[in-house]
């Protein structure tokens, strides 16, 4: 290399550092953007599905589609039995009152749940916007229903508590005439994108300066139809959140699991091995719905131990865990959802050290009867076990102990006795713990220091 080259390269680097890199509107460039660090450190989020679907509150948030798209008999019957003849989905909007919506109470609850970020549906596939979108005439929460800017109110309350704010946004709208038109044209026209989707996405970013955009509803059309790469290039280069915003991977047909920021892949995606790209698992306390359903049964809900198991598996595999609740049309998060969220928070209060800002360890899971999952942070290795061994002796096969090895149990003071296991790993004697000392029985964390 000629001497001049080094100086030139340094100059180029300096210019890059000062102005920040520029991204072009193609996946090769956009995919190369490093993910802002806050997201991986946050690990735990709460997802909120809220919209007009909370009015019928039956089946799922896909109510309108199941009723008027697929004409499912059960939905036709449901409406015929409960609403006057001639009722349309639009008639539900005034009943979406949000009259008990207390954004600060929600924010306090989410913080108590241990959530470091919250993602709200600003607009689901029904097209109703939870803010006063200028291109969603009379189909938004300011002109009808609550007569409030729900997106703004929740954002303000979350920010008072330093919780990151994510905006869910559906690219498609099931019944929007312009969308149906573009679809009829084989997505060769983009009238819906230019008159609805893009103006709304830009509006959301400029008004609310989100930390995260959780895109959805992409699957019927290619990213070229949605103009996604053009929006993302603006978002990363010139938007007010260019340095901090993260996005997911649902930006057009076949993008999911391949392009974008972090990957969601499918809903409730569970990898079997450690993925090589940052990902997030979204899950829902109500296993059968994301939106609130008044007819849900207790057996259909995740219990606290399944929530903790999902969280631990997800974080061991390098993922974030986004747990959903659907509020009622009045804006109430029903007590059973609150209880589940608070259990999660209580568990994280003791074991959060092994979760927040952790990194996957060289081994993620040990297939023992005790169901042991690993994470790590700096020199510490965390072994999270979900079943307490009957003889109070826990065997860990993967860590290699040394004479300096120290084992502690999070939430319990003092070090634990251990010995080398005759084959490999450690045998750890678990202490007797009075339930009043460590009340959470949903999984325990050992901190191992001085192991390889």
Ligand X SMILES: *[C@@H]1O[C@H](CO)[C@@H](O)[C@H](O)[C@H]1NC(C)=O
Residue 25 Cβ vs ligand X, minimum distance, rounded to whole Å = 4
Q: For binding to ligand X (CB under 6 A), which residues are involved? A: 25, 194, 198, 222, 227, 230, 253-254, 272, 367
Residue 252 Cβ vs ligand X, minimum distance, rounded to whole Å = 7
Nearer to ligand X, 110 or 231 (CB): 231
The 3-state DSSP class for residue 298 equals helix
Residue 367 Cβ vs ligand X, minimum distance, rounded to whole Å = 4
Nearer to ligand X, 288 or 369 (CB): 369
Torsion sign across C-alpha atoms 265, 358, 169, 98: positive
Residue 417 Cβ vs ligand X, minimum distance, rounded to whole Å = 28
Give the CA distances from residue 22 to residues 26, 164, 430, 433, in Å, rounded to whole numbers and listed in that order.
Answer: 12, 25, 54, 56
Instruction: List the structure tokens of 41.
Output: 């450190």
Q: Determine the angle formed by the axes of helices 150-160 and 198-208, rounding to 10 degrees.
A: 30
The 3-state DSSP class for residue 81 equals helix
Nearer to ligand X, 24 or 295 (CB): 24
Instruction: List the structure tokens of 362.
Output: 């060289």
Residue in this structure with the two tokens 């997911």, named with its chain if needed: 248
- Other CB atoms within 10 A of residue 221 CB: 21
Nearer to ligand X, 110 or 373 (CB): 373
Nearer to ligand X, 89 or 225 (CB): 225
Please give the Cα distance from 227 to 37 (Å, whole number): 27
Residue 254 Cβ vs ligand X, minimum distance, rounded to whole Å = 4
Residue 36 Cβ vs ligand X, minimum distance, rounded to whole Å = 23
The 3-state DSSP class for residue 96 equals coil
DSSP labels, 113-125 = TT-SEEEEEEE-T
Please give the order of strands across the beta sheet that includes 380-385: 365-366, 372-377, 380-385, 444-451, 401-409
Nearer to ligand X, 360 or 450 (CB): 360
Residue 61 Cβ vs ligand X, minimum distance, rounded to whole Å = 25
Nearer to ligand X, 191 or 415 (CB): 191
Please give the Cα distance from 215 to 125 (Å, whole number): 11
| 382 bridge partner residues | 375, 447
Contact by Cβ (8 Å): 349, 369: no
Contact by Cβ (8 Å): 93, 101: no
What is the DSSP pairing of strand 246-247 with strand 212-216?
parallel
Nearer to ligand X, 24 or 88 (CB): 24
Nearer to ligand X, 49 or 176 (CB): 176
Residue 154 phi/psi, 5-degree rounding, is -65, -40
Residue 202 Cβ vs ligand X, minimum distance, rounded to whole Å = 8
Nearer to ligand X, 199 or 450 (CB): 199
Residue 248 Cβ vs ligand X, minimum distance, rounded to whole Å = 18
Residue 222 Cβ vs ligand X, minimum distance, rounded to whole Å = 3
On the 0-12 / 13-18 / 19+ scale of CB atoms within 10 A, 91 is: middle
């Amino acid at each position: 290399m000629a001497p001049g080259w080094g100086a030139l390269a340094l100059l180029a680097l300096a210019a890059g550092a000062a102005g920040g890199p520029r991204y072009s509107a193609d996946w090769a460039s956009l995919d190369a953007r490093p993910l802002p660090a806050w997201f991986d450190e946050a690990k735990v989020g709460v997802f909120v599905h809220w919209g007009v679907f909370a009015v019928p509150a039956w089946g799922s948030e896909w109510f309108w589609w199941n009723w008027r798209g697929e004409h499912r008999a059960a939905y036709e019957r449901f409406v015929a039995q409960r609403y006057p003849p001639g009722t349309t989905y639009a008639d539900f909007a005034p009943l979406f009152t949000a009259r008990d919506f207390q954004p600060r109470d929600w924010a306090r609850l989410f913080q108590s749940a241990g959530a470091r970020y919250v993602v709200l549906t600003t607009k689901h596939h029904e097209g109703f916007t939870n803010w006063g979108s200028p291109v969603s005439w009379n189909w938004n929460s300011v002109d009808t229903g609550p007569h409030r800017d729900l997106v703004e109110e929740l954002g303000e309350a979350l920010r008072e508590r330093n919780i990151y704010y994510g905006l869910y946004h559906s690219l498609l709208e099931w019944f929007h005439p312009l969308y149906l038109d573009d679809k009829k044209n084989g997505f060769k026209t983009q009238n819906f994108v230019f008159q609805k989707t893009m103006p709304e996405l830009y509006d959301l970013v400029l008004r609310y300066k989100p930390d995260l955009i959780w895109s959805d509803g992409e699957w019927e059309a290619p990213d070229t139809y949605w103009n996604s790469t053009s929006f993302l290039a603006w978002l990363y280069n010139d938007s007010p959140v260019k340095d901090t915003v993260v996005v997911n991977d649902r930006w057009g047909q076949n993008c999911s699991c391949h392009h974008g920021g972090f990957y969601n892949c499918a809903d409730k995606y569970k990898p079997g091995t450690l993925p090589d790209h940052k990902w997030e698992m979204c899950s829902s306390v109500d296993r059968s719905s994301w939106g609130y359903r008044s007819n849900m049964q207790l057996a259909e809900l995740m219990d606290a131990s399944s929530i903790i198991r999902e969280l631990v598996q997800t974080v061991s595999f390098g993922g974030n865990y986004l747990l959903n609740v659907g509020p009622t049309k009045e804006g109430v998060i029903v007590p059973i959802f609150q209880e589940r969220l608070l259990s999660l928070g209580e568990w994280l209060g003791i074991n959060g050290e092994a979760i927040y800002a952790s990194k996957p360890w060289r081994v993620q899971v040990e297939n023992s009867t005790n169901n042991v999952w690993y994470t790590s942070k700096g020199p510490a290795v965390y072994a999270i076990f979900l079943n307490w061994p009957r003889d109070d002796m826990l065997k860990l096969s993967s860590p290699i102990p040394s004479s300096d090895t120290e084992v502690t149990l999070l939430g319990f003071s003092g070090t634990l006795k251990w010995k080398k296991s005759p084959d490999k790993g450690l045998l750890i004697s678990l202490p007797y713990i009075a339930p009043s000392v460590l009340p959470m029985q949903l999984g325990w964390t050992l901190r191992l220091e001085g192991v390889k």
